[in-house]
């Protein structure tokens, strides 16, 4: 796991500034404290910060190919590098190191750009071909590893693992993309199709970009996609056995490291499954870690201890006070772009705990998206069944009228919020799902915006690209389309961004075995009844893990990292809530109605409404804009 950066001049006569590149690399030193290198090639310069994981002494970067015709900087891990190495060696390739970086170079020399489709792993890399005078940028299939890009006024393209490295380039214009504010308020993060800085973009997951001298910048090209349009054939027993084999293979491949390795263990299905399979393949006790809270309703450490004892892991846990609000100040610098997933705080804390004893930690991320594990998937599945019973011409007037007449009850559990359900049924499947996963709906956003911002935003609404993604998904059903959108939109924008920044902030490599692309492809082909059955999501995965895990782990209600932000904004962060509207960075943009923000803050502090998620979003946006020096 590392950090990469680079400068590429389209004009072959240009010269990349190595000193500027060094400053870019210094900005992401936390991603790679073990090594540092810069390669200068006239119009191109590549930089690297290394966190040593495999072949600790033998794979420094930037790395040249054996014939010196290509240079590489690489962030991530290629899990099938040993198999590829053997195949390439059989075809005449020669290797001088024991790591995966040299395999990327050899694979490129053998298969060209198509080499990326042969890699199983998490990666973002830049490879410069000195013969073709061409730069290849690539990102892994699911977007585990990030890559930011920007085109500068002098015709150069700069890229890096984090936005803070691009900001270190003096020629990068710091200007807010106003549409990113709309996206952020809707989702709680800035999705991959946009960046908070105008002119900066992110290379999409499963895409490559080729840059050539003396040629215009072209659009990125996809090299992989997942389809939900086909269904596996076979008995439940056969599919369960296939899934169990895929799970074992995914976990085993991610246990290769020349440094201490462990796992996050929450006591939920996903992390417990990973730990169980690690223990099965390990001759030594697996190192596991978990954090809990000193509020019983939020604490899962008892379940984690149960799994740790079952598998004899070397387990450590730590209790974190819910009043961990002082850590809020670290988030803006960690994420650069505004990021409002409050579970980032406990994620960062568990990464800190893991880093005390290991350099690599396996996580359980990805199973909910792949196997339909979220509660919203069950609602979507059920609502689509109802939509199928009522002609589309009748749904809007019937359910829409009923929804408008039904009293609002946001305080109630989702199954009792008939108004929300009725309004969801009135719209299309895609519209309903976009509404279900949004943090701040269009009505509330409009109340917060000033007239000036509404003019800037124009006709754009954050839900549009998400709905379009669902409508064009290779899918058979609304559940298929929802999971596809989760994998393509929510997962890279929220979950993987959170884990990457929180882990790399403490120089820890996090690996996600449940995001193995072969596992994702298998899950996408499962009949809906093997994803959701009754009230259970991830049904087939739970069947596959029955031999390893007890039922009270497999079938207990899902519980994620919970941060008590509602209590914070009525206590230690009440002053911060008031300050959002009274002289903070947001008020200086002129894009918000300060009175509307103040009303929301006062209502929450008084306890008459729960606006905690909205206030958390606004606070993180305010601090991010301050951190970036944008207002």
Measure Cα distances from 336 to 353, 508, 621 in Å. Answer: 23, 19, 10
Residue 327 pairs in a beta bridge with none
> Sign of torsion, CA 45 80 209 366?
negative
Longest dimension (CA), the chain: 73
Provide the 10 A C-beta neighbour count for residue 414: 13
Exposed, middle or buried by CB within 10 Å (0-12, 13-18, 19+), for 165? buried
- Spatial distance between the Cα atoms of 360 and 242, rounded to a whole number of angstroms: 27
- Spatial distance between the Cα atoms of 260 and 249, rounded to a whole number of angstroms: 20
- Spatial distance between the Cα atoms of 71 and 105, rounded to a whole number of angstroms: 8
Three-point CA angle 565, 566, 570, nearest 5°: 110
- Spatial distance between the Cα atoms of 115 and 85, rounded to a whole number of angstroms: 13
The answer to whether the beta carbons of residues 76 and 125 sit under 8 Å apart is yes
Three-point CA angle 141, 471, 523, nearest 5°: 45
- Given the structure tokens 């002289």, which residue do they identify? 583
Closest Cα to residue 347, out of 274, 289, 262, 286? 289
Three-point CA angle 258, 263, 266, nearest 5°: 175
Closest Cα to residue 211, out of 512, 7, 451? 7
Measure Cα distances from 6 to 40, 78, 206, 506 in Å. Answer: 10, 21, 20, 23
Residue 74 pairs in a beta bridge with 125
Contacts of 362 (CB under 8 A, 6+ apart): 251, 254, 255, 261, 262, 263, 264, 274, 278, 510, 511, 512, 513
- Spatial distance between the Cα atoms of 626 and 178, rounded to a whole number of angstroms: 16
Closest Cα to residue 488, out of 251, 202, 273? 202
Residue 7 pairs in a beta bridge with 45, 158
Coil, strand or helix: which one is 299? coil
The answer to whether the beta carbons of residues 425 and 382 sit under 8 Å apart is no
Strand duo 360-362 + 261-264: pairing? parallel
Is 115 a residue of the active site? no
Three-point CA angle 341, 342, 348, nearest 5°: 100
Catalytic residue (choose from 2, 25, 195, 289)? 2
- Spatial distance between the Cα atoms of 339 and 180, rounded to a whole number of angstroms: 12
Measure Cα distances from 348 to 29, 508, 618 in Å. Answer: 17, 10, 21
Coil, strand or helix: which one is 552? helix
Closest Cα to residue 287, out of 366, 359, 364, 367? 359
Kindly report the backbone phi and psi dihedral angles of residue 476, in degrees, each rounded to the nearest multiple of 5, phi listed first: -100, -25
Exposed, middle or buried by CB within 10 Å (0-12, 13-18, 19+), for 41? middle
First-last CA distance in the chain: 33
> Which of the residues are catalytic?
2
């Amino acid at each position: 796991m590392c950090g990469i950066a680079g400068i590429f001049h389209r004009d072959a006569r240009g010269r990349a500034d190595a000193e500027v590149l060094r400053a870019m690399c210094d900005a992401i030193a936390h991603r790679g404290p073990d090594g540092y290198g810069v390669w200068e090639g006239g119009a191109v310069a590549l930089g690297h910060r290394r966190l040593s994981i495999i072949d600790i002494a033998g794979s420094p970067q930037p790395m040249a190919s054996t014939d010196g015709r290509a240079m590489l900087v690489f962030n991530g891990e290629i899990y099938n590098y040993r198999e590829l190495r053997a195949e390439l060696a059989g075809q005449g390739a020669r290797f001088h190191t024991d790591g995966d970086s040299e395999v990327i170079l050899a694979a490129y020399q053998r298969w060209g750009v198509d080499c990326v489709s042969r890699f199983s792993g998490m990666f973002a890399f830049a490879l410069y071909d000195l013969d073709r005078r061409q730069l290849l940028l690539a990102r892994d299939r699911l977007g585990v590893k990030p890559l930011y890009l920007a085109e500068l006024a002098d015709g150069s393209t700069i890229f890096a693992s984090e936005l803070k490295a691009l900001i270190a380039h003096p020629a990068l214009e710091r200007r807010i993309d106003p549409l990113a504010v709309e996206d952020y308020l809707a989702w709680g993060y800035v999705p991959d199709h946009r960046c908070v800085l105008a002119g900066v973009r992110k290379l999409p997951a499963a895409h490559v970009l080729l840059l050539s001298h003396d040629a215009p910048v072209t659009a990125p090209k996809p090299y992989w996609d997942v389809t939900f349009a086909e269904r596996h054939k076979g008995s439940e027993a056969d599919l369960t056995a296939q899934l169990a084999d895929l799970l074992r293979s995914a976990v085993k491949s991610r246990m290769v490291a020349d440094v201490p390795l462990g796992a996050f263990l929450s006591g939920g299905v996903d992390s417990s499954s990973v730990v169980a399979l690690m223990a099965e393949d390990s001759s030594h006790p697996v190192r596991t870690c978990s954090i809990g809270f000193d509020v019983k309703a939020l604490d899962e450490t008892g379940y984690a201890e149960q799994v740790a004892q079952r598998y004899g892991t070397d387990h450590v846990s730590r209790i974190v006070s819910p009043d961990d609000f002082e850590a809020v100040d670290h988030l803006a610098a960690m994420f650069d772009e505004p990021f409002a997933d409050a579970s980032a705080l406990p994620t960062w804390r568990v990464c800190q705990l893991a880093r005390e004893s290991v350099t690599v930690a396996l996580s359980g991320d990805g199973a909910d998206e792949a196997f339909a594990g979220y509660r919203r998937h069950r609602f979507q599945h059920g609502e689509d069944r109802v939509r199928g019973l009522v002609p589309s011409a009748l749904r809007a007037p019937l359910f829409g009228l009923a929804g408008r007449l039904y009293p609002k009850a946001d305080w109630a559990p989702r199954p009792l919020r008939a108004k929300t359900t009725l309004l969801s049924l009135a719209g299309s499947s895609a519209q309903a799902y976009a509404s279900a996963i949004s943090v701040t709906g269009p009505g509330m956003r409009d109340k917060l915006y000033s007239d000036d911002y509404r003019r800037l935003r124009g006709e754009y609404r954050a839900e549009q690209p998400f709905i379009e993604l669902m409508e064009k998904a290779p899918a058979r059903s609304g559940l298929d389309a929802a999971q596809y959108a989760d994998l393509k939109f929510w997962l890279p924008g929220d979950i993987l961004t959170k884990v990457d920044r929180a882990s790399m902030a403490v120089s820890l490599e996090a690996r996600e075995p449940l995001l193995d692309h072969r596992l994702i492809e298998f899950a996408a082909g499962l009949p809906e009844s093997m994803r959701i059955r009754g009230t259970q999501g991830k049904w087939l995965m739970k069947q596959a893990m029955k031999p390893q895990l007890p039922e009270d782990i497999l079938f207990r209600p899902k519980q994620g990292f919970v941060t008590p932000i509602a209590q914070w904004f009525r206590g230690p962060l009440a002053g911060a809530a008031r300050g959002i509207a009274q002289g903070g960075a947001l008020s200086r943009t002129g894009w918000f109605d300060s009175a509307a923000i103040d009303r929301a803050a006062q209502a929450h502090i008084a306890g008459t409404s729960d606006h905690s998620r909205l206030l958390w979003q606004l606070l993180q946006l305010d601090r991010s804009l301050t951190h970036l020096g944008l207002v």
